[in-house]
């Protein structure tokens, strides 16, 4: 990856979940509109600079699978692959 995020930004590759149930029923796009998004962290910034001049510790690292707010992602393409950026505050949880 050729990107180095700044501040408390992350670069994420969104994981598209299978939209077919175990019994073979295909679910339309409207079904999952309210679901949270899941993705893999590809790169992290150094952390946000706090008022006292120190850097906020980044609690995620490349390779982590995360759950983040649905509309927080700013999507872009790089080398024909789709990625997104978001801030650390938009991360809800690390999926283990």
Q: pLDDT of 33-91, one tens digit each?
A: 555 589 999 999 999 999 998 989 999 999 999 999 888 889 998 888 889 999 999 99
pLDDT tens profile 9-21:
999 998 766 566 6
Contacts of 41 by beta carbon, 8 Å cutoff, 6+ apart:
10, 11, 12, 60, 61, 62, 63, 64, 65, 66
What are the domain boundaries of the chain?
9-16+35-95
**70 with 22: CB under 8 angstroms?**
no
**45 with 11: CB under 8 angstroms?**
no
Q: Which CATH superfamily is domain 9-16+35-95 in?
A: GroES chaperonin (2.30.33.40)
Q: Is 68 left (phi over 0), alpha (psi -120 to 50) or beta?
A: beta
Per-residue pLDDT at 34: 52
Whole-model pTM: value is: 0.76
């Amino acid at each position: 990856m050729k990107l180095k995020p700044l501040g408390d930004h992350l670069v994420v590759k969104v994981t598209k979940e299978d939209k077919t149930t175990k019994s073979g029923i295909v679910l339309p796009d409207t079904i999952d509109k309210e679901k949270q998004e899941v993705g893999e962290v590809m790169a992290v910034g150094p952390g946000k600079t706090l008022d006292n001049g120190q850097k906020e510790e980044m609690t995620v690292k490349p390779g982590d699978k995360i759950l983040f707010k649905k509309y927080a992602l700013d999507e872009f393409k790089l080398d024909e692959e789709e990625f997104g950026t978001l801030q650390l505050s938009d991360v809800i949880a690390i999926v283990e």
